Amino acid sequence: MRVGVQLPDGLKRKAIEICDKLEGDIILSGEHCFGACDIDLNLLKEVDIVYHFAHTKILDLEKVVYVPYFIDYNVEKICEILSNLKERRIALISTAQYCHKLTEIKEKLEAIGYSVELRKSRRTELPGQVLGCDYSAIKNSEAEAIVFVGDGIFHAKGAAIYSGKKVYALNPLNFELIEVDGADFLKERFLLISKCVGLKKLGIIVSSKPGQRRLKLAEEIQKKAKERGMKSLIVYFGDITPEKLENLPFEFYVNTACPRISYDDYRRFKIPIITPQEFDILLGLKKDLELDEI
């Protein structure tokens, strides 16, 4: 049996030891693997099964098996830190690597009088898990504060903007607790939108990756652009890189692919990349910034 293996970039260095544990004739994907929707479709055609590591299932694709990669951490210590928060009603969120312990954290905090929301997002399987394209685990949350347990602050900032609530980011590896504010993120986004004012040549980015392919949305954007006298083309991509964009004739882009390209990676690109919601702000169709969700 031919077995395909997909690893995120952070795990690729462990490819030999991971593949040694598998049976069959292994073919390792050399492509980037940024998320659960980033399936190597070319590899999928060649093999009987693809093991997609470190992300949880968001798509029902034949022959693809998602293999989670959970990182262990000290729940007692997390609860001790959270028990010092003044907010007694909290919601817990995390990413695929850390959310396996959220239920245990919830039970321990509730035993000492906290009220803890732990809900599932639309696209994810595990309670409390959020994605860069889906924060619905905290939709209409009644918590006084959201606690993100994980590394980095990207998702915590996203949660702050999505919910409008106070958000703490607690790193389960070094136990650093910080309060995260979405204001600087909003400022950066509005600055980027302002850079697009008056520009007329628009590239509309569509991804070929399953789970982030939004061609219909791209067509709606193109219609709006045409009505405003802009020249636009829908451009189809696999991975979206600065080099690929530099060869194209556009003055700015609207990205319908993974929202993290607009929010997290945009500094790598010389040309402004905004979201469909931000394009509506640019056109004066809306005022308030909402996160782009798939």
Find the part of the chain contacting ligand SF4 (CB under 6 A) among 39-47, 131-139, 163-171, 238-246.
131-139
Q: Which member of 155, 162, 260, 262 binds ligand SF4 (CB under 6 A)?
A: 260
**Judged by CB under 6 A, does residue 294 bind ligand SF4?**
yes
Question: Which CB atom, from 102 or from 131, has the smaller least distance to ligand SF4?
Answer: 131
Burial of 292 by CB count in 10 Å (0-12 exposed, 13-18 middle, 19+ buried)?
A: buried
**Judged by CB under 6 A, does residue 212 bind ligand SF4?**
yes
Cβ–Cβ < 8 Å for 276, 282:
no
Q: Which of residues 13-52 bind ligand SF4 (CB under 6 A)?
A: 34-38
Residue 203's nearest CA partner among 190, 184, 222, 188 is 222
Alpha carbon 30 to its chain centroid, in Å, reads 21
**Judged by CB under 6 A, does residue 132 bind ligand SF4?**
yes
Instruction: Kindly state the number of chain residues that form the binding site for ligand SF4, as judged by CB under 6 A.
Output: 14
Question: Which CB atom, from 171 or from 255, has the smaller least distance to ligand SF4?
Answer: 255
Alpha carbons 114 and 117: distance in angstroms, whole number: 10
Contact mark string toward ligand SF4, 135..174, x via CB under 6 A: ----------------------------------------
**Judged by CB under 6 A, does residue 90 bind ligand SF4?**
no
Q: Which member of 133, 193, 202, 254 binds ligand SF4 (CB under 6 A)?
A: 133
**Judged by CB under 6 A, does residue 58 bind ligand SF4?**
yes
Neighbours of 109 (CB within 10 A): 21
Alpha carbons 200 and 215: distance in angstroms, whole number: 21
Q: Provide, rounded to whole angstroms, the least separation between the CB of residue 261 and ligand SF4.
A: 8
The CB-nearest residue to ligand SF4 is 35
Per-residue CA distances from 47 to 31, 56, 104, 238 (Å): 15, 21, 38, 20
Alpha carbons 21 and 67: distance in angstroms, whole number: 13
Alpha carbons 146 and 161: distance in angstroms, whole number: 11
Contact mark string toward ligand SF4, 175..204, x via CB under 6 A: ------------------------------
**Judged by CB under 6 A, does residue 79 bind ligand SF4?**
no
**Judged by CB under 6 A, does residue 276 bind ligand SF4?**
no
Alpha carbon 90 to its chain centroid, in Å, reads 22
